[in-house]
Amino acid sequence: MPKPSHLAVLGVAKEVTPGTPVAATKWIPWKTLTPKDDVNLIQDQGQRGAPVDVFGLYGGQKGAELDLGGDVFADTIGWLLASVLPDLVTTGASAPFSHVFSTLCTGDTQPTPQTWTIYDPLGTWQYPGAQFSELGFKWNADGLFEWSAKATTWAYATTTTPTPSFTAVAPSPNWQIIGQIGGVATFMQDGELTIKRNVTAIRGSAGTQNPYRIWSGDVSVEGKATLVMESNAQRTAFQAATVQSFDVAYTQGAAAALNGLQLHCSQVAYTEGTPSYGKEYIELPVSFTAIGNTSDIGASGGYSPIKATLQNAIAANTYK
């Protein structure tokens, strides 16, 4: 009998030891949930006097990849932000707390590894040691503010049945999103912002099928938006390679129930900005790349291309 996929739930927790699974401490509503298990079979191709190319298959080193996505909730999105921007500073004596995420420029510069858990009708699968190579945000005129992410992990481990519970925080409708370019409120029909890190599974001969470590590299940020072309200002900025700031933000609730997210890049430059005449009004689709700078940094100093500020009722030392 088929098993219903809509009964699958997704959980996360930070790890103490990289690659050692821990029970989920938070459960995250999902829209995209695609694990890919890597077995990497090794072929025995030693010739044995027969016209055959493979004489045996043996288990090689293992791992997995996760392709995840869902709507932005102001409490659970912190787990994703910490997975790519691990310089985290939390302020506030009580809710709402303010969590500021940016590039970590000291120590090993690595995000805290996480265990992602999938609990479905067939069992409970823990994917430990997760490091994320991509975290993207998308918004438009309809629907809810969305995120998508990709991670590399160790091979899954099985565990006992958990008891999931879910956030009471509401997601954000896209109409609440406020965009700014150069510090000026700017109407955007739609947009995307993606934080990327190169992720490498370091492998070798060590008596285990798991990697020695999953390692995160440099941080980069890119994005795009569709603007209504009311003037030549942004086209001129593209032509002149003008550096300006880019912001996407929303807030909802009040007092202790206040929550929201701001994605702020102090310096971006357009890589595309050519008018489109396909509709009855002129559009300007723009693409941009963020530049590492000393304004978007956290406690570790250095440079960062982005600073994300999250407000919610989650206390310090939760995400990292």
Three-state secondary structure readout of 96-136:
CEEEEEECCCCCCCCCCCEEEEEEECCEEEEEEEEEEEEEE
Which pLDDT score is estimated for 46?
A: 96
Alpha carbons 10 and 119: distance in angstroms, whole number: 7
- So where are the chain's domains? 7-42+59-159+167-312
Strand residue runs (E) in 46-106: 56-58, 63-71, 87-91, 97-102
Q: What is the pTM of this model?
A: 0.95
- The pLDDT assigned to 317 comes to 95
Nearest to 214 by CA among 121, 124, 108, 290: 108
pLDDT of amino acid 195:
98
C-alpha to C-alpha distance for 16 and 20, rounded to whole angstroms: 8
Angle 191-281-290 (CA atoms, 0-180°, nearest 5)? 25
pLDDT of res. 206: 87
User: Would strands 244-252 and 307-312 be described as parallel, antiparallel, or unpaired?
Assistant: unpaired
Place of tokens 């992990």: 153
Question: What is residue 1's predicted lDDT score, i.e. its pLDDT?
Answer: 87
Spatial contact of 87 and 299, defined as CB atoms under 8 Å apart: yes
Q: Give the CA-trace dihedral at 149, 131, 85, 305, to 10 degrees.
A: -70
Could you give the maximum distance between any two Cα atoms of the chain, in Å? 79
* Positions of the chain with pLDDT under 70: none
Q: Hey, how many other C-beta atoms are within 10 angstroms of the C-beta on 277?
A: 9
